[in-house]
Chain A
């Protein structure tokens, strides 16, 4: 019964949207962070001007972390097991959820790496 509910959830729009959201939040956060930071850098000069860059970084990190969290919850719901090559909705959902967790973590670290120059070059 529980499995049937899970299958139904991940076959409906809300479940599928949650899987995609978890998968894409990290990359989208990173892309927004890069574009925003790069675009606003030439307009800021002098001490204190890095505040906007820090805020952009925090916002991007929050989006990536949210993506990871959504994926983690999806993964728990799908049985919290390593994805295999089995067929069916549950196996596919596990695969997407775990992928979302890993990719969110990767882009979280990438956003952090992009924030390092802000600390060094403007301190």
Chain B
């Protein structure tokens, strides 16, 4: 292993240096990669950092909204026979809570992190398809706002985030709520798919020279695997939700038994997406944890190859688990047993990762800053969630606890432990890079303690409630059930957890009032995003770096690594490198700011939303989208400045 010495690494906690005036090249680059400002300018921005930041902030707002929904649910369940919420409102709230957390918070948050961090980490100036990037964000925003607007106007879905048929067919759910749900879920998957395509191409073709596959940062590996998973997992859900929408709007019979349809087909399609979805959320978090562990242990990861392989193995096996959500549907015992085997086997690569992190941390001189605290919290919570996961992989046990609070405890341990804690670690870790100022460490530690204590107080008792037989998705329970004390404890825990989230949210808001003063590399990290200023300039790097080792900044050594020459500053040029070895082989010219991705997203949205009322909107939407794409792809001038042409 090419471990670097202590002296190779940049100073930890170094003060912000007074930056020299911009060079002529930097000034030209700044103009070339400029993002328009102002209200109208906002709709034309395409730079990956702008779009990534929007994904992160928007998804965090959705996280807060889903959190408020969960507090309302817990308030209702605090005492038996409570009438704080009506049964209908309870159904709507848990549907919106689940849908928001999965579709509008977790996946977009991970995409946002990838869109912002990956291009910086691999040393390029933007992503491969900047306009597609912007289009994906508008699609996401329109889908989320529409679903909530429909909810506030009395059309909230109430069939659960899984929308099982036949309950969600018009016969049993006659309102428009599920029409909005099915349509917007189809719509938002477009956003996930375009982000996946962009990130895959960017990672494969735009890495800085020298960053061969065996040198790629673990976060980049994690994002690459996740994006491939999205490409294979999202289409089945899109197909399923389109079929559901057609059953509801034009009375097709995909899921209606009376017309020869098959309700279990919905569950297969949904869970073929739904289980990989869990890993689509988890795998980027594994990359975040590796980044934080390496930085705060101040040493290279133990078992780089094993870590990469674990992520790749998880990416594959995640697609072989979906039937374990259907153990009680009456499928053949032998058939479901294959999925028990796969569900148990996926614990192996997950365990390998945990052991590699422990080995990295073992004996290291740790710096217990807030990001590392959230990672340590992840270890405890996620391992507990993994243990109950192995338990419910067994058909007999799963049959016993199916649809009880044991399951609610299990998947919150996996999802909050596996995604929310790492995301909060990531927020504290990359906040100085994104916004140029540090978050308050004391507030961060308070936030962690409150979230950790509140989480365990809320969800650990649910294991016991489940074992005592408390069913999930019920709006209240009888006093004689014996579930009151633990339910009340869970509710108190939820409020403590929310307080912890609030501390971070307020800290982040207050930080915007401070003057940006973060150093370029406040934590002493090893990856390339720390080699540029905080926040980075419009062009990310004045000179594209050349990578000389797996721990790019730690292995720079005394001798300069060199930079890429030959890219023009007067137009949006990025270096294209080979897939395996990252050797330079071409230059790509990226498009600049434009309104067309926004207009195209509005056109697609018009088609989707109009379809709820009448099928004629489908061709109308198609026509409008065609117009949008023509404007988007209209040929553009690509010439550089006259001076530069002369210089070349």
| Chain A residues in the interface with B (C-beta under 8 A) | 16, 27, 30-31, 34, 37-38, 41-42, 82-89, 91-92, 94-96, 98-99, 102-103, 106-107, 109-110, 113-114, 116-118, 121-122
Contacts and interface: CB of A to CB of B under 8 A. Distances in A.
Contact of A84 (B2, B308, B333): B2
B342 A85 contact: no
Interface stretch (B43-51, B170-178, B207-215, B492-500): B207-215
Closest 9 CB pairs of A and B: A85-B550, A117-B337, A95-B214, A113-B341, A41-B335, A27-B316, A114-B341, A92-B212, A110-B345
Q: For chain B, what secondary structure do more than half of its interface residues adopt (helix, strand, loop), or is it mixed?
A: helix
Contacts of B333: 121
A121 B337 contact: yes
B352 to A, nearest CB: 10
Given A85-B1, A85-B549, A122-B334, A31 B212 contact: no
Interface of B: 1-2, 210, 212-215, 304-306, 308-309, 312-313, 316-317, 319-320, 323, 332-335, 337-342, 344-345, 348-349, 547-551, 555, 580-581
B332 A42 contact: yes
B344 A113 contact: yes
B304 to A, nearest CB: 7
B338 A95 contact: no
Given A84-B2, A103-B313, A117-B340, A38 B335 contact: yes
A34 B348 CA distance: 18
A84 B1 contact: yes
20 contacts: A31-B316, A34-B320, A34-B338, A37-B335, A37-B338, A41-B334, A85-B1, A85-B2, A85-B215, A85-B549, A85-B555, A86-B2, A88-B212, A106-B349, A110-B341, A114-B338, A114-B342, A117-B334, A121-B334, A121-B337
A30 B319 CA distance: 11
Given A34-B320, A89-B581, A118 B334 contact: yes
Given A83-B214, A102-B305, 15 more contacts: A16-B580, A27-B313, A27-B316, A41-B332, A41-B334, A84-B1, A85-B1, A85-B214, A87-B548, A89-B581, A106-B349, A107-B316, A113-B341, A117-B340, A121-B334
B169 to A, nearest CB: 25
Contact of B581 (A92, A109, A113): A92
A52 to B, nearest CB: 12
Contact of A106 (B215, B319, B348, B551): B348
Contacts of B551: 85
Nearest to A34: B320
Q: For chain A, what secondary structure do more than half of its interface residues adopt (helix, strand, loop), or is it mixed?
A: helix
Nearest to A11: B581
Contacts of B212: 87-88, 91-92
A109 B345 contact: yes
A31 B309 contact: no
Contacts of B214: 83-86, 91-92, 94-96
Contact of B335 (A42, A86, A91, A107): A42
Contacts of A86: 2, 214
Given A85-B2, A89-B581, A95-B214, A103 B309 contact: yes
Contact of B323 (A38, A96, A103): A38
Contacts of B210: 87
A113 B549 CA distance: 38
B166 to A, nearest CB: 22
B64 to A, nearest CB: 39
Contacts of A118: 334
Contacts of A102: 305-306, 309
A9 to B, nearest CB: 13
